[in-house]
Structure 1
Amino acid sequence: MDSFADRDRIILAGLAFYGYHGVMMEENALGQRFRIDLELGLDMSEAARSDDVASTISYAHIYDLVKEAFEERRFKLIEALGHHIMARLFERFDKLDWIRIKVRKPEAPLPIVAGEAAIEMVRTREQI
């Protein structure tokens, strides 16, 4: 996959949710906090020239869809949760070319004093 380092993107970082995703029974019963970071790749040339929100994707619409996808079913793996969110974003927003998602579990049931468990995935529309 080529690098996305020099491409246009919308960034939403530190989105916080409470959910019941996980393998352990405690995670399913008690739930825990999750954080999601997103980079959404799309050409923003027209939006930059026109200053028209219709030429891009509304941050509010992105957030609403991520929240809906996060809550609509439970997953054992945060890998599956991340894939599901990306699939829903590609399904809803035709302008998207690629997505980078990081799903973090700050309170994963691990014997660590500080830190978090996380996954990060990058996919193009064709890879979903």
Structure 2
Amino acid sequence: MKGIIEINGLRLFARHGVFEEERINGNTFELTVHLCYPIENAMQSDNVADTLNYAEAIEIIRKEMEIPSRLLEHVVGRIHSALLAAYPAIISGSIKLTKLNPPIHADIDGTAVRIEW
């Protein structure tokens, strides 16, 4: 059996953007991460060692977000690689990274990049 481990609405301050000003001033970002993972052992054992520990996954994400990048695509790619390195049993998933206050003149909730695999 597989399950979906969800990290919804993780808000972090980071310094990503094409413009130098964005990397200097920073911005607030929101991440939604869904990871398909085998959870049948955890369903029986009630032991966090038998599942994907979302607290550890959040720390992996946080560390990748601390590294400034020009493109959200680059950040999402690094997060994807780091999560798979830590949890090779991940079957599939999605990562959505939203810049909540992009430096454009439009009334929007944010701009985002989402990957699925």
Q: Give TM-score, length-normalised by structure 2.
A: 0.93
RCO (CA 8 Å, sep 6+): is it higher in 1 or 2?
2
Gaps of 5+ in 2: none
Deviation above 4 Å: which 4+ runs of structure 1? Answer: none
C-alpha contact (below 8 Å) 1:12/1:38 kept by paired residues: yes
- From 55, 62, 68, the equivalent of 1:74 is 68
Deviation of 1:113 (Å): 2.0
Partner residue of 1:36? 31
CA distance in 1, matches of 2:86, 2:40: 21
Amino acid at match of 2:40: S
CA distance in 2, matches of 1:9, 1:29: 36
CA distance in 2, matches of 1:99, 1:80: 17
CA distances 1:27-71 after superposition (whole Å, capped 9, x unpaired)? 011111011110011111111122111110111111111101111
Q: 2:12 aligned with 1:10, yes or no?
A: no
Q: 2:107 aligned with 1:102, yes or no?
A: no
Deviation of 1:98 (Å): 1.6
May I ask how many residue pairs the two structures share in their alignment? 116
CA distance in 2, matches of 1:70, 1:97: 23
SS in 1 for 2:5: strand
Partner residue of 2:77? 83
Provide the identity percentage. Answer: 25
CA distance in 1, matches of 2:17, 2:80: 18
Gaps of 5+ in 1: 1-6, 124-128
C-alpha contact (below 8 Å) 2:37/2:52 kept by paired residues: no
Which structure has the highest strand share of the two?
Answer: 2
